[in-house]
Amino acid sequence: MDLEVIMVQDEGIPVQVTYFDVHTPERHYPWKRTQSSGAIALTRDRLAAFVNKEKVLDIRLDDPNFKQIEWSTGRPDELWATFDAHLIQPDWSGRVDISFSTPLTPQFFARLSRFSRRETQ
């Protein structure tokens, strides 16, 4: 993302990741929730999200997998991404929900919903 123009970004924001029936080669998580700080950035071409400085999403907006992410909002400052775990790691299965608490939710949601298959408010 170094050479890409950032359209919207927020850093140092609360992020909550919830795993539902996630199977990895090493473990199975029937349900697991973590809370920490993170960041989300959107360029004209790509979305990147970080939790504890670890990249959890880095996907081009024209990637067919991007259309598998369901974007939604709860509170006005809450942006949710729900997707299959294989988007994080190809050998994972299950569902992942990531909640970003950012005052920039309306800007993110407006741009992301243009590229997503489905979105809810």
| Residue-wise pLDDT tens digits, 66-107 | 989 999 998 899 999 999 999 888 999 999 999 999 999 999
pTM over 0.85: yes
Is residue 1 included in any domain, yes or no? no
Is residue 68 included in any domain, yes or no? yes
Identity of the residue numbered 34: T
- 83, 70 contact by CB (below 8 A): yes
Is residue 33 included in any domain, yes or no? yes
- Of 43, 51, 45, the C-alpha closest to 81 is 51
Is residue 53 included in any domain, yes or no? yes
Taking every pair of Cα atoms in the chain, the longest distance, rounded to a whole number of angstroms, is 39
Work out how many domains the chain is built from and give that number: 1
Residue 47 is encoded by which pair of tokens?
Answer: 């979305």
Domain range for residue 59? 6-120
Q: What is the pLDDT of residue 41?
A: 97
Is residue 25 included in any domain, yes or no? yes
Confidence of residue 113 (pLDDT cuts 50, 70, 90): confident
- 49, 8 contact by CB (below 8 A): no
**CATH code, 53:** 2.30.29
Is residue 28 included in any domain, yes or no? yes
